[in-house]
Amino acid sequence: MSDGRLIYVMGASGVGKDSLLRELRQRRPDVLVAHRYITRASGGGENCVELSAAEFAWRRAQRLFCLAWHAHGLDYGVGIEIESWLAAGHTVVLNGSRRALVLARSRFGAALVPLLVVADAEVLRRRLLARGRETPAEIEARLARGGGEESLVDLPRLDNGGELAQSVEALEAFVDASPATASPP
């Protein structure tokens, strides 16, 4: 499908994917961090475009998403522009979803390079409480359900439970280990 690589970053809510990707964008203009379309407000820290349910459905019907999924009562989509970026040989990093991994593998084939971001339960609890999107009871229920990582044992993992700077360095190393990125303009 492409000459580029799609680094497909996944992990439980609160594991710090948005923080990692925000820092990667600051450090690496040669890596394209794709935004997502979501049927909720971003909350300020997320690289996304908020859409109403009607806007999302219309864009989906117009085939303006190359990947779309539903999770936690919300719709998520990725614009078709990333297919052009990949075809041009760029490295693209995407905040993906564990539940959409099979679909993403089907769509992007060998271009897809999955990465699972993890942190221990206490780190997740603290971050989810600080984010304030869910009640403490909802957070505990989320943690009790687990993230489903046990079915993803074959994937490379990045521990984001410590200092963000170290995790970003590890993410950069992972990106650099994938095929070469295109030069910035």
Is it the case that residue 180 has pLDDT exceeding 60? no
Total residue length of the chain: 185
What pLDDT score does 39 carry?
92
Averaged pLDDT, 28-43: 87
pTM of the predicted model as reported, rounded to 2 decimal places: 0.85
Averaged pLDDT, 166-170: 96
Q: CATH 2.130.10.10: does it fit domain 5-34+87-177?
A: no
What pLDDT score does 97 carry?
92
What pLDDT score does 150 carry?
55
